[in-house]
Structures are given as structure tokens and as C-alpha cells.
Structure 1
Amino acid sequence: MIEPWLYAGLTGVAVVAGFIDSIAGGGGLIMMPTLLFAGLPPHIALGTNKLQSICGTTMAAYRYRRAGLFRFTPNRLLVLVVFLGALAGALTIQRIDARALSLLVPVLLLGVAVYTVLSPRMDDHEGEPRISDRAYLPLAGGIGFYDGFFGPGTGSFFAVSLVGLRGLGLTRATGLTKLLNLTSNLASLIVFALGGQVMWLLGLCMAVGAVTGAWLGAHSATRFGARLIRPLLVTASLALTTKLIWGWFAG
């Protein structure tokens, strides 16, 4: 059990995490260590974080949808593949130690940061797709699996791959990323909930903060576009990289 005053504290942290996550991803960098510090066992922390995260992501996706940055119908197959991938990942993490994967993730996130800084494609101009919709499906499913299995940086991986491989502008890629993130969070939450690994009252309290932060973040992103998203994406990727490398050597 956690102390009652921590409910208010964790809800406040969720506002910050929801804001960052709605723009650049990486809210888990803030939320997961905080939940572990509060005394939650790792799997309970993962499940409870998915509950608050899905509420914040829903708000962000709603805001991006209202701004016309994505439509569900043309992306139905993509959503299904991501859902199935995340479902498989969440089922797998119940049985496997994720420590080996945590060594690879910093390398990938560092690559995201470098690509974001150096690539001329990381702006709001639409580019030519390098691969087709169908060719992108296995990669999207893999990212969905990763989100269900481990999670940090999922939004960054979706956004960068949609810009670099599908030719989307950065703001539109961020909007579609929220739909895909919502999908993978839903699949993961189902698995954790069925396994009894969610603290519902705490998660719902944090969800209020996550929704507030996500509304503010999505509003800011749709207003300022790539000039806000790009630096936050770099910062989130580098921060996640540092945190995960430190956790590997310290743990």
C-alpha cells in the first residue's frame, strides 16, 4: 500500500508526464521511476502506468483528430497490427526478464535523437514515402510489441519512422503516433488488468493529471508544430537514453 498523500503527488507528476508524452513521447521516463520510488512492484507499476497513460493518450489523440491530423478509417489495418503486436509483447513480458532488451533501447533512442537533429525531413513538409503502407506494417507491429513488452520511447520510434519511411510531416506523424500509442496502450492494459496488476484507484487519480497534461501538450503541438515537437523529441530521446544506460549499469 502507498501513503494517501502520494495520490495527490503522483497525480501532479502525471500532468507533467502527460504533457511531454502527448508531444514527444517519453512520459514513462517520468512516471515509471516515480511509481517505483513510491513502492509499487515493477509489474504493478507497469500496469498502473498503462491505465493513466491510456487516458492521457486518448485525450491527445482526440485533440489531434479534431485538428484533422489523422483519420481512423484509412489506418484500420495499421491499428490492428499494432494492437496484436502490443498484445503479444504484454503477454511476453509476464514471463521474461526485460533487462537484456534495456541494453539495446538506449542505442535505438540515441539514433532517434541524431536522426531528428540531422535529418532535413524532420519538419512539417510532406515527403515522398520510402516504403508502402503494407511494407510499414511489420515495423509498426514490432514497435507495438516493444510497447507492450517494455515501452520507453515508443512514441519517438513511431514518429521518426512515420516521417523517415512514410513521408509524413512531423506534426501529422505525431498525431498518428497518438492513435497508434493509444492502440498499444489498450492492448497492454487488457493483459495487465486480466493479470490483476493494476491499482485502479491510483491509476484513475493519475489519469486526471495525464488527461490535463495531454490536453495542454496536444494544444501546444497543434499550435506550434515542428518547431516545438522537434526539440522536445530530441530532449525526450536523449533523456531516455541517459536514464536507461544509467539504469543498466546501476542495476
Structure 2
Amino acid sequence: MELELTHVAGLLALGVVAGFLNTVGGGGSLLTLPLLTFMGMDLAVANATNRIGIFLQCAASTWTFRSQGVLSLRNVLPLGIAASAGSALGAFLAIQIDKRALNLAIGVLISVMAVLLVAKPRMWEERKVVTWPKWAVWALFAAIGVYGGFIQAGVGFFLSWGLAGVAGYDLVSGNGAKSFIVFLYTAVSLVLFFAGGLVNVPVGLILSVGGMAGAVLGARFAVAKGNTWIRWILAGIICVTALKMVLDALLH
């Protein structure tokens, strides 16, 4: 695809929005993937190219969360390693899954998550003692990594649930942990996609410039506003995303 000035401007602007959303809640890839395909990019290439922006925006948000004192890389590293192992498997998976059924299933799952965000605020806003055995927590994050390596879009919602509901994080510290986990596993999947010749580097780098700016803004916003703001924003993003996925599944 040939890049025109309007393409560059659109990629930069959407990168900012996607970076902010991915850092605060999730769902940024649900905006960037349709834009890349609308610009004429093959879906497989778009799915791979999008990882450049994800990788760099997560590097920016990880640095910001750590500088704000809400992220311990040492504590979250085991979860990142588990997700990275799953990501490698997800990147290798042949795209054989019925996308209609997948959209419907994910839409229902994240709709349940939205209900929990509104009805169970303490689940998301307070740090908790982890009651799951470590192997089960690692297995969960490996499974989330498989999905992230496969398609990425919407994975932030599942990471937010896993970090808040299972791993004991509140939403602000969980957003920092999520950024670092995605940074690690995206590095793995990006290498594999690049080796397969699926990455459009110029487009990915342009998208990432806006994404990094949006990620820094999102991280600062999350720390400044706190858990309650993040919970309601996340619930809103999830509701819109779930509705889109269910409609896509039913109408196509």
C-alpha cells in the first residue's frame, strides 16, 4: 500500500486514541485493525503490523507507570513470561477458527466483565490476597497470551480481569502490570510475524508514534484519576466493544 499524507495523519491521530485506550482500559486494536484494512492492507498483515504500535506504546506506558511508582517489574515478570509463552503458540496458530463464533463468545465474556465492573467495585479497586495457586495463575496468563498472540484485539480486557480478579492487583497498578506483560509477549509475537514477512514496518512505526504519545497520556491519566475513574471508563469501553462484537457476529 502507498502512504499518502492523509494516511499518515490518520495513523498518527488514531495511534494517540488507541494508545490512550489500550493503557487506560483496552480495545485500541479494535480501532486500528479496521483502519489498516480500510487503507487496503491485508488482515493478516494488519494484525502483524499493529504489533509495532502495541510494542512501543507499551514500552512508553511501562516506563511512565514505573516512573510514577505504581509498577514493580520484578513482581509482574512471572506473569509476563507465562503470557509470552502463550503468545508464541498464538502467533503460530493457523487462522481456522470460526470468527463469527469467536466474536460472539468474546462479546458475551466481556459483557459479563462489564457487569462485574459496575456491580462489584471492590473486586477492581482494592488489592487482594491471591488465593489461586501460582501454577493456576500462570496457566491463566499463558492462555490469555495465546489469544493476545493470535489476534490481540480486546486482550487488555482479559488481562485487566486476570490482574484484578485473580492476581490481586487494583486497576491502577494492574494497568501498569498489563502494560509490561503486553510489552513482553508482543516482542515474542512480533518477531515471529516479522520472520513470516507479515509486518509493514513504515506503517507500524507511524502508528506507533501516536500510540506512544497516547500511552504516556493514558498512564498519567490513570495514576492521577485513580481506580474509580478507571473502572467506569473500562466499563464503558467494554460495553461498546461487546456490542460491536456481538453485532458483527450476528450480522455477518
**Greater Cα offset, 37-46 or 184-193:** 184-193
CA RMSD of aligned residues (A): 1.6
What's the % identity of the aligned pairs? 29
Task: Summarize the alignment of residues 2-81 of structure 1 with structure 2, pairs less than 5 Å apart.
Answer: 2-5=2-5, 6-81=7-82
After superposition, residues 144-163 of structure 1 pair within 5 angstroms as 144-163=145-164
Q: Distance in 2 between matches of 1:126 and 1:73?
A: 17
5+ long unaligned stretches in structure 2: none
Find the residue that maps to 1:82 and give its secondary structure.
helix
What is the CA–CA distance in structure 1 between the aligned matches of 2:76 and 2:169, rounded to whole Å? 14
2:191 aligns to what?
190
Question: Would the aligned equivalents of 1:57 and 1:214 in 2 still touch at CA under 8 Å?
Answer: yes
1:227 corresponds in structure 2 to 228
Superposition pairs for residues 191-210 of structure 1, below 5 Å? 191-210=192-211
Question: What is the alpha-carbon distance in structure 1 between the residues aligned to residue 97 and residue 125 of structure 2?
Answer: 39
Count of residues in Structure 1 that have an aligned counterpart in Structure 2: 250
Q: TM-score, normalised by structure 2?
A: 0.93
Partner Cα distance (2:92, 2:168) in 1: 32
Residues 88, 149 of structure 2: 8 Å contact kept: yes
Any unmatched runs of 5+ in structure 1?
A: none
Q: Distance in 1 between the 2:79 and 2:168 partners?
A: 16
Task: Report deviation, 1:231.
Answer: 1.4
Deviation per residue, 1:66-90 (Å, 9 max, x gap): 2222222233332211101011001
1:131 matched to which residue of 2? 132
Take 2:40 and 2:58, find their aligned partners in 1: how far apart are those partners?
25
2:52 is aligned with what amino acid?
L
TM-score if structure 1 supplies the norm length? 0.93
Instruction: Give the secondary-structure state (helix, strand or coil) at the position aligned to 1:166.
Output: coil
How far apart are 1:214 and its partner, in Å? 0.5
The answer to whether the 8 A contact 2:77-2:181 is kept is no
CA distance in 1, matches of 2:2, 2:251: 25
Query: What one-letter code is carried by the residue in structure 2 that aligns with 1:96?
Result: Q
CA distance in 1: counterparts of 2:124 and 2:47, whole angstroms: 33
Q: CA deviation at 1:19?
A: 0.8
Q: Distance in 2 between matches of 1:175 and 1:76?
A: 12
Contact 1:121 1:163 in 2 (8 A): no
Q: CA deviation at 1:210?
A: 0.3
Residues 22 and 218, structure 1, Cα contact 8 Å, conserved in 2: yes
Inter-partner Cα distance in structure 1 for 2:71 and 2:108: 30
How big is each residue's C-alpha offset from its partner over 1:183-219, in whole Å with a ceiling of 9 and x where there is no partner?
2222221121111111101110111100011111101
Output the CA distance in 2 between the equivalents of 1:102 and 1:136.
25
2:92 corresponding residue in structure 1: 91
Tell me whether 186-195 or 125-134 shows the greater mean CA deviation: 125-134
Tell me which residue corresponds to 2:249: 248
Indicate the SS of the match to 1:121.
helix
Conservation of the 8 A alpha-carbon contact between 1:17 and 1:31: yes
SS in 2 for 1:25: coil
Runs of 4+ in structure 1 off by over 6 angstroms are: none
